Structure 1
């Protein structure tokens, strides 16, 4: 199966124009033979969570809604599966950071609401997003059972493991992550390397391919108080032994393509049977915040 990750930059909050760019990229991916297309996190706008501004809630939309319906129509036309990332308005005062999966027939196959919500300088997501309540449930599609997670979720081995235990065949991460421009080059390199390493570790520990689609480019803090974020791109696809199958650049927009053999997971898990050897009788302390 050919997978495409659409790494893009955002220099405008024109939602219709941004969505149109995504639709054009999906069309290009389909022309290149992709059957599954992954978009970056919150792709319809710049990353508004750099500041706390109640006006930003106006960006949110219901699901189904205009964006999901436009994506569904294109999925149906092209016969591809699309994983998109939307600011969901569930009800007045209730919003989620939500990934939607549009199946190859245009059906809304499912959604995943981001479970781990950060609250750090430049990433004030707790102000905007209610933590997800749909659990770690894979979504069945024409190309397989997808374990969809979102950005901050990618640092948590528990999330990847629970998706794998529920039968996910592939882990997908729409992402918006970057550097504080005030950090020096060495610190920036450590952060990017940690990001790549932890996700490749999820692939290895679960015997599954992993794909992450990040945005790229610099986005200023709209409040003017912070230094902005330099998104580090580097979207990638790794196989079930953590091997890099494709990796995008840091600075450039890119349509990243990778060919996946989903049957390899069976072979890998036979020689590295981590699921067989898990000591589920001894993991009770994982339900504690910390073991004092």
Structure 2
């Protein structure tokens, strides 16, 4: 099992006609620069459909659909792990914003679906897909336990903490956020890394789409909260070192107790909020 790994954050989308060719080129470039894993933004092979409230059937696909297959084929062609994504329509018709973990042979190894769903102008996500209800679990990505938190999931730090407590050493955060709100996101990435004693890496969709002012840097934060990478380049390369995680979990605050039964009792007494809802009602305004 490796102690170091290079990860490429690819801030580009690939839903146009030439998407397959461009993705192939970016993965080749990432691998040439030493990356063993590449991460795409949130729904990186889909248009940003939540720009409007209109849900179009063709934006989603069944498991193993053309967008998913394309990502698997390109990852296999290049020989690199890929954390991509697609809007997946399940057998019961429910649509979910799903990250796809694809190995260097093109096999779909695991998936993760978004839990926290915004519902506001430019991010009408509740009209397009539903929140998942599965407990986040670490995934084996290139031999290292990692967790995935898609965009707004990062803003409920319990997800990162649960993943880290289960052994995840890296949290990958594909996102679609506005440039104007980046300074609100940045301290959350740092706090999650520091309090989870893990790496936090996030890659954004790069440019405005359909009137939504999407944009902002890719970022990588070390387990001690130090920013390792902050770039608007199409490809950012980060090297992670598992020894940094081990050391962070020996140091403060990493060694502090995790009284899970106490937390569980507390959460059990708190009424659940809806997965989403209009701004101004019971839910918080989504930090987009």
TM range (shorter): 0.7 to 0.9
Mapped to 2, the partners of 1:158 and 1:19 lie a distance apart of 36
State which drifts further: 41-50 or 197-206.
41-50
Summarize the Cα distance change of 1:19–1:115 in structure 2 as closer, same or farther, 3 Å threshold. farther
Confirm or deny: 8 A CA contact 1:19 1:44 kept in the other structure.
Answer: no
Task: Tell me how far 1:258 sits from its aligned partner.
Answer: 1.3
Matching residue of 2:276: none
Confirm or deny: 8 A CA contact 1:81 1:143 kept in the other structure.
Answer: no
> 5 Å matches for 1:250-265?
253-265=233-245
Q: Which runs of no fewer than 5 residues in structure 2 stay unpaired?
A: 273-288
Matching residue of 2:32: 31
Confirm or deny: 8 A CA contact 2:23 2:74 kept in the other structure.
Answer: no
Matching residue of 1:206: 196
Task: Tell me how far 1:281 sits from its aligned partner.
Answer: 4.8
User: Residue 215 in 1 paired to residue 194 in 2?
Assistant: no
Mapped to 2, the partners of 1:163 and 1:19 lie a distance apart of 32
User: Residue 3 in 1 paired to residue 4 in 2?
Assistant: no
> 5 Å matches for 1:143-162?
143-162=143-162
Aligned length: 267
Matching residue of 2:247: 267
Q: Give CA-to-partner distance per residue, 1:141-195, whole Å, 9 cap, x none.
A: 324112012111011111101111222121001111115xxxxxxxx3xx31120
Summarize the Cα distance change of 1:118–1:19 in structure 2 as closer, same or farther, 3 Å threshold. farther
Q: 1:194 aligned to 176, 179, 184, which one?
A: 184
Summarize the Cα distance change of 1:8–1:164 in structure 2 as closer, same or farther, 3 Å threshold. same
Q: Give CA-to-partner distance per residue, 1:178-213, whole Å, 9 cap, x none.
A: 15xxxxxxxx3xx31120110111110011011001
Mapped to 1, the partners of 2:132 and 2:255 lie a distance apart of 26
Mapped to 2, the partners of 1:278 and 1:106 lie a distance apart of 37
Confirm or deny: 8 A CA contact 1:248 1:256 kept in the other structure.
Answer: yes
What TM-score do the two structures reach when normalised by structure 1? 0.84
What TM-score do the two structures reach when normalised by structure 2? 0.85
> 5 Å matches for 1:111-130?
111-130=111-130
Matching residue of 2:79: 79
| RMSD of aligned alpha carbons | 2.1
Confirm or deny: 8 A CA contact 2:195 2:253 kept in the other structure.
Answer: no
Mapped to 2, the partners of 1:57 and 1:163 lie a distance apart of 33
Mapped to 2, the partners of 1:19 and 1:116 lie a distance apart of 29
User: Residue 51 in 1 paired to residue 52 in 2?
Assistant: yes
Q: Which runs of no fewer than 5 residues in structure 1 stay unpaired?
A: 180-187, 221-227
